[in-house]
C-alpha cells in the first residue's frame, strides 16, 4: 500500500459523512486518525493498516442511526470496508487486518481487538469521547436529542437513553468515567488518565455551580 491509496480511501470515506450527526461528523474521524498516528508510532503499528482503518471505522454510523441502533456500525462498517478495499489493488491480508480493526473498535459490542492496530484504533476512538473534547461532544449530543443542560442528581436506574434526561452528565456517568479502565495500550492508558481527570474536575465543579454552591 502507498500514500496515494490512503488519500483516495480518505476521500471515499468522507462521502459517508454528508448526513452525519454533528457529534460524529468527519472531524471526529480526523481526530481519531491523528491520535492513531501518534499512538501507532509508539506502539510500533503498521501505520498504513491503522490509517485506513481509522478513516473507515465509522462509515456505517449513519446506517446505525437510521436503524435506531438495530444495526451495529462496527460490524456493518467492517463489511462495507471489505467491499470498498476489494476495489483497490490491496492484498487480502491487509483487507482482513483493516476489517478486524473496524469490527472490534466499538465500546459496546465487546468483540476483542486482537492486533496491535485494532487495539490502537479502539483506544484512539475512545480517547475522543473523554477529556475536554469528550465533554464538548457529550453536550453536543445532548443538544442533538434536545435533552436538558444538566441533571446534577441524576439516577441512572431511572433514566433512559435519548430521553429528556439523557444529558452530558448521564453519558459521563454511564460511559465516559469508565473509559480509562478499558484502554488496551500503555500509551492509551497514559493519555486517558489525564483526560479522565479533566472530566472529573469539570463535572464536580458543574454540579456545584448548578446548585449555586460555588
pLDDT digits (tens, 9 = 90+) for 151-200: 888 776 676 776 776 789 988 998 999 999 999 999 999 999 999 999 99
pLDDT the model gives residue 157: 63
Parts of the chain belonging to CATH 1.20.58.1910: 129-214
Q: 129-214 has which fold?
A: Methane Monooxygenase Hydroxylase; Chain G, domain 1 (1.20.58)
**Does position 54 have pLDDT exceeding 80, yes or no?**
yes
Distance CA 155, CA 119 (A): 33
Name the packing angle between helices 116-127 and 92-103 (round to 10°).
Answer: 40
Parts of the chain belonging to CATH 1.10.3210.10: 1-110
**200: closest CA among 126, 134, 102, 101?**
134
CATH of span 1-110: 1.10.3210.10
pLDDT the model gives residue 93: 96
- Which range, of 2-16, 138-152, 187-201, averages the lowest pLDDT? 138-152
- Neighbouring C-beta atoms of residue 176, cutoff 10 Å: 25
- Which range, of 17-26, 47-56, 107-116, 160-169, averages the lowest pLDDT? 160-169
Residues 6+ apart with CB under 8 A from 200: 177
**Does position 103 have pLDDT exceeding 70, yes or no?**
yes
CA distance readout (Å), 21 to 30, 107, 119: 15, 19, 26
pLDDT the model gives residue 1: 61
Amino acid at each position: 500500500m502507498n500514500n496515494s491509496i490512503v488519500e483516495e480511501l480518505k476521500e471515499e470515506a468522507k462521502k459517508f459523512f454528508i448526513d452525519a450527526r454533528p457529534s460524529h461528523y468527519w472531524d471526529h474521524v480526523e481526530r481519531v486518525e491523528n491520535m492513531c498516528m501518534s499512538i501507532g508510532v509508539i506502539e510500533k503499528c503498521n501505520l498504513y493498516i491503522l490509517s485506513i482503518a481509522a478513516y473507515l471505522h465509522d462509515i456505517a454510523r449513519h446506517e446505525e442511526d437510521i436503524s435506531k441502533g438495530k444495526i451495529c456500525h462496527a460490524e456493518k462498517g467492517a463489511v462495507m470496508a471489505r467491499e470498498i478495499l476489494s476495489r483497490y489493488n490491496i492484498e487480502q491480508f491487509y483487507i482482513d487486518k483493516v476489517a478486524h480493526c473496524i469490527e472490534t473498535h466499538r465500546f459496546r459490542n465487546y468483540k476483542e481487538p486482537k492486533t496491535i492496530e485494532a487495539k490502537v484504533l479502539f483506544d484512539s476512538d475512545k480517547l475522543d469521547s473523554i477529556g475536554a473534547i469528550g465533554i464538548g461532544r457529550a453536550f453536543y449530543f445532548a443538544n442533538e436529542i434536545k435533552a436538558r443542560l444538566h441533571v446534577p442528581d441524576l439516577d441512572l436506574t431511572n433514566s433512559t437513553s435519548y430521553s429528556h434526561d439523557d444529558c452530558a452528565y448521564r453519558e459521563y456517568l454511564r460511559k465516559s468515567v469508565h473509559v480509562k479502565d478499558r484502554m488496551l495500550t500503555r500509551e492509551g492508558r497514559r493519555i486517558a488518565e489525564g483526560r479522565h481527570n479533566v472530566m472529573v474536575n469539570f463535572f464536580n465543579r458543574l454540579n456545584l455551580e448548578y446548585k449555586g454552591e460555588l
